[in-house]
Structure 1
Amino acid sequence: MTGVDLPVSPLERALVVPEADALVIADVHLGKAADSSVDAPIDDGRDVRERLESLLARTGSETVVVAGDLLDSFNRLPRGVERDLTALERVVDDAGASLVVTPGNHDTMLEGPLDGETSPEYRLADGETVVCHGHEAPALEADRYVVGHDHPALSVDGRKLPCFLYGPGVYEGADVIVCPAFTRLAAGATVNGMYGRDFQSPLVTDPGRFHPAVWDDSSEEPLWFPPLEECRRLL
């Protein structure tokens, strides 16, 4: 494993941007449990709220930015979603933070039930970082893009773990960070054997140049790996 020097820091399934006083999460997919075929799906709304509340207490971030797919809907709102969305907004408000959502391809029903700010792309207060879902090419220029969409996971010693992907200078000279899905209901796409054609984001065309990182609960730190093109055969 290798260290990666970044002005942002993975924290579990979220990304902390200290200079912008921001916390970024992606692919929350509220309503996924309600549409699950499992007889007794987990309460994904409560799970998301409790973990977000804990992250805000730890970081004290002033802004929470959702990098797309806050909802899991296309033509209707799954049952309980409006209640869960209101409760999530209350968690952010109670922490003294503001909520911004950059809608993803699953957020077609977002307008109406959401009271917070929405924007196709959102530039953080550091001036260098733009957050978007990643399903489309960004219009704003930035030194760094933070996206979601692909739900990356890394297989390590037979265990599938949600992971971040960091690609220095991979998109028109800008860095790209792909966040894992914040929902724990997403299985994740195992990136070990994935190549450019396997990713759905136009910001990820050469995944071999991306460093994966997984969160280590025991050390409470991200564990960085060499670029995928170097470490695929070692995992």
Structure 2
Amino acid sequence: MEAELLERFDFFSGALYIREKKLCVVSDIHIGLEETLYAQGLHFPLREGATLLDRFEAILERFSPEIFVLDGDIFHSFDRIARSVQKKFVTIVERLRAECEVVFVRGSHDTMLPSVMAGSVERYDAGEYTVIHGDQTFPDHGFLVMGHDHPVIEIELQRFPCFLYGQGVVNGKDLIMMPAFNPLSPGVIINYAKGRDFLSPLLRRVDAGRLQPVVEVDREVVIFPPLAEMRRLM
């Protein structure tokens, strides 16, 4: 199964690349988290805009996707988009659109997205794949790609953003949950998580023990056993 997963997908710098569709997905970009932290009293530079743009540049260079999906919680603030945040967003979108089509999937934070960028959607379907943010449920879907919960795995007191793969865990369909793309976003440790611990209403009904963490470290992808098996070993 691990070999098949790596044949279909590539995992790099918080992005999922679906090879057969030439489709790239990132989730939980949270543009403007930097401004929120400054407003809370943080006083050292975080370089959010440059860091995000560098990550997007590396992804474009590696995959040359035809479609790039920004999968929800594109912005951090619910109620206002500061001029500096909008500038970072426009810079990123212009860079992506120079290379490929860009799709905006709305997340729970994106109440202001329609006022900044027209054409956002609640879901994006590409053949057998359905990309959603994860804050809503949908009665019909394909292989789910979603974000929303910012999964992180803790190994020997170190925390690593991770993808979560579940074979047939949602209505018999496979699932890949994305890590938060913004490195400033706090992660949620999933080592001992149960379905009820997730924010997503979809995952609250899932047997979390069947989910497999997928971690990319130093450009090497490691697929761990399901969480239930990991817990027995730990």
- Tell me, what secondary structure is at the counterpart of 1:34? helix
Runs of 4+ in 1 over 4 A off after TM superposition: none
Q: Indicate conservation of the 8 Å contact 1:28/1:69, yes or no.
A: yes
> Partner residue of 1:71?
75
Q: CA deviation at 1:202?
A: 2.3
Q: Indicate conservation of the 8 Å contact 1:145/1:175, yes or no.
A: yes
> Partner residue of 2:106?
103
Structure 1: distance between partners of 2:224 and 2:140? 29
Post-superposition CA distance 1:100-134 (Å, at most 9, x none): 1110000001012225x41100012xx01110100
> Partner residue of 1:10?
11
Alignment of structure 1 residues 52-67 onto 2, 5 Å: 52-67=56-71
Distance 1:168 1:129, change over 3 A: same
State the AA in 2 paired with 1:215: E
> Partner residue of 1:145?
144
State the AA in 2 paired with 1:201: S
State the AA in 2 paired with 1:138: F
Distance 1:209 1:194, change over 3 A: same
Q: Indicate conservation of the 8 Å contact 2:28/2:71, yes or no.
A: yes
Structure 1: distance between partners of 2:3 and 2:233? 19
TM superposition score normalised by structure 2:
0.92
Q: CA deviation at 1:79?
A: 4.5
Q: CA deviation at 1:5?
A: 2.1
TM superposition score normalised by structure 1:
0.92
- Tell me, what secondary structure is at the counterpart of 2:221? strand
Count residues with an aligned counterpart. Answer: 227
Post-superposition CA distance 1:47-77 (Å, at most 9, x none): 1111111101110001110111000121111
Structure 2: distance between partners of 1:169 and 1:90? 37
Q: Indicate conservation of the 8 Å contact 1:121/1:140, yes or no.
A: no
1:172 matched to 2:171 = yes
Q: Indicate conservation of the 8 Å contact 2:13/2:55, yes or no.
A: no
Q: CA deviation at 1:135?
A: 0.8
Structure 2: distance between partners of 1:176 and 1:49? 27
> Partner residue of 1:47?
51
Identical aligned residues as a percent: 36
Structure 1: distance between partners of 2:129 and 2:45? 36
> Partner residue of 2:129?
129
Structure 2: distance between partners of 1:97 and 1:137? 28
Structure 1: distance between partners of 2:140 and 2:120? 15
Q: Which runs of 5+ in 1 are unaligned?
A: none
Structure 2: distance between partners of 1:93 and 1:128? 24
Q: CA deviation at 1:139?
A: 4.3
CA RMSD of aligned residues (A): 1.5
Post-superposition CA distance 1:129-165 (Å, at most 9, x none): 11010011124421x1000000000001111000000
Q: Which runs of 5+ in 2 are unaligned?
A: none
Q: Indicate conservation of the 8 Å contact 2:9/2:19, yes or no.
A: yes
Post-superposition CA distance 1:162-187 (Å, at most 9, x none): 00000000000000110000000012
Post-superposition CA distance 1:170-214 (Å, at most 9, x none): 000000110000000012000002111100112222211001011
> Partner residue of 2:157?
158
